[in-house]
Amino acid sequence: MAAFSHPLSSPSKDVLQPRIGASSFAVSSFASLQDVENKPASSRIWRPCALVDLMALGLLRRHSRCRRSPSKRWPKRTAVVRRGAEYGQEFVGEEVDQDLAESLQQRTLEALDLDFVLERLQALCYTATAAEMAIDPEVLLAQTPEEARALYALVVELTQLEDADLDLDAKLDIRTEVDQCRHGRVLEPPQLQKVSDSIEALLRLRNGLDGASARGVNIPLLMGHCQDIELPDRLLDIMLEAFQEDGELSLKKFPELGQLRERIRELEETCSKVMGEVLSSGKYSTYLSDDGYMQFGGRYVLGVKSRSKGKVGRLFDESRSGRVAYVEPYEVVQYADDLEQSKKALERMARRILGNMSLAISHAADALERCLKAAAHIDLARARLFLGEDMEGEVPTVGDDGIIAVRHARNPCLVLRGGKKVVGYRLELGKSSQCLLLTGPNAGGKTVVLKTLGLLALLARCGIPIPGGEAPRVDFFEVVLADVGDMQTIALGLESGLAERSVVSTQRQRAEKLSRKAVTRALNSCISIGRGG
């Protein structure tokens, strides 16, 4: 059953708290706390009403004006009701632990299928940071009406840009590399190339937005994020264009490396030429065990009979049997030594450059993280825009009066599943009516309507355009609570939801029990206050 406490008198104008129900299980109505505080005891009449069927949904909005001090007669009870508005905190009373609060919140998000929508949002993100943010309700949900309006304003600004203005197609997943540098590790070329590519992508993003602003496009919020994309000159000097397409350090960027590589190439050619001349001359033919030469560890050697190894050159190695010695001819020893020294010099120089790069990243770690966060916010806003387009959504008006007014609301999950003929609803709540009652047969659409209403309230806090028809209004609700008796899931279909319920885990059953206990306690608290208890 769904039970609601509601005063006979009109609700307080300062605290607008719609109650919606069509369903099984009790949702406490934290209704009109100001009425409880301000009215005399004789006029405090609370009338719970019971509804039986599938689902309960509660939308609560905090006070927008200053309240009088609560009556001293019921300080503890009043505090219990007030604490019910703390979404994500302890829900009712001091004895309720954090696990219970989290189970209430998680149950609501699952009941409304928010995870299905957020997975679609995540799929539209380019950057790794934005993808993580997209499926985290604690990060995604705005905490105030102003934050929700700012999220939508950012989405609207994106609609003014051309495709070339928003050059962001890189994953920008370099937090691990930045953290390693912060702890003093020298990165290898592939890792540093990844950082270099990400830095170049960040600069392209900033330059694109700067160009749009220079053309006169009004994008103040985007430019606010753009200003955070600022990196030290030292980092840019050493990292930009530092690698070639093959992953090697750029010879154009570091010409000293080019000189050493050229020297090494010349010495290798000289060694090969000398070895060829030694073999063609036949000078050591009587001492050789085979006709060609080979390279071991960068050294040019001949296979020589063991008894003649001192007559050819410098011994390098011997075969396991001891019958063949690998000897570096006297004619090539000097060139081979120069080649080895040049290779060591090249390696030292490359390690020094890699070390300087890693050090520069370490010094700029905070700036890089700030840039990645700014790019993630822009990327996430673009994903919101794309998801809204997929749902044929509109940016709603977001107030703080507890009003929902939509002309053609469609369930986002049904739309995203590809429904061609999703039924729309005209819903108004919070103006003249504070309660919405739905009745009808099983599988008649009641749950879908209520889920749609709750999900639109959550999407408004996420800054995602809603499929609500023209000029929708969905105000900011700090608390959204929902309970579905059979845990139907619109994302997978009614039959899948019922099947899922048949195999619900013990942990899920415990969470449901805790949720029911907490909400029932909240309801009893409200009724007790109304009776002057």
List, for residues 245-303, the tens digit of each pLDDT value. Answer: 899 999 999 999 999 999 999 999 999 999 888 888 888 888 888 778 888 877 898 88
Q: Of 455, 479, 462, 392, nearest to 151 (Cα)?
A: 462
Mean pLDDT of the chain: 77
Q: How far is residue 79's CA from residue 400's CA, in Å, rounded to a whole number? A: 23
Q: What is the pLDDT of residue 393?
A: 93
Residues 164-207: tens digit of each pLDDT: 899 888 899 999 999 999 999 999 999 999 999 999 999 999 99
The answer to whether the CB of 494 falls within 8 A of the CB of 484 is no
Predicted local distance difference test score (pLDDT) of residue 123: 95
Mean pLDDT of 329-335: 90
| Residue 328, strand partner residues | 314
DSSP string, 396-437: PB--SS--EEEEEE--HHHHHTT-SSPPPEEEEESSS-SEEE
416-468 residue pLDDT tens: 988 668 888 888 888 777 777 888 777 667 888 888 999 999 999 999 999 99
What does the pLDDT average to over 20-47? 37
**Whether 383 contacts 465, CB under 8 Å:** no
Provide the pLDDT for residue 513.
55
Question: And the tokens for 288?
Answer: 């050789």
- The predicted model gives 375-403 an average pLDDT of 94
- The whole-number average pLDDT for the span 372-400 is 95
The pLDDT value given to residue 515? 55
Is residue 317 within a helix (H) or strand (E), and if so which, with residue range? strand 313-318
Q: Are 453 and 480 in contact (CB under 8 A)?
A: no
- Of 457, 360, 335, nearest to 404 (Cα)? 457
Task: Quote the DSSP letter at residue 394.
Answer: B
Res 39 pLDDT > 90: no
Cα(198)–Cα(511) distance, integer angstroms: 43
Confidence (pLDDT) at 489: 62
pLDDT more than 90, % of the chain: 47
Alpha helices in 289-432 (DSSP H): 330-363, 365-390, 412-416
Contact of 400 with 64, CB cutoff 8 Å: yes
Alpha carbons 105 and 111: distance in angstroms, whole number:
10
Residues 80-134 have pLDDT tens digits of: 333 333 444 444 444 445 677 677 778 888 888 899 999 999 999 999 999 999 9
Alpha-carbon span 327 to 20, nearest angstrom: 92
Percent of the chain exceeding pLDDT 70 equals 72
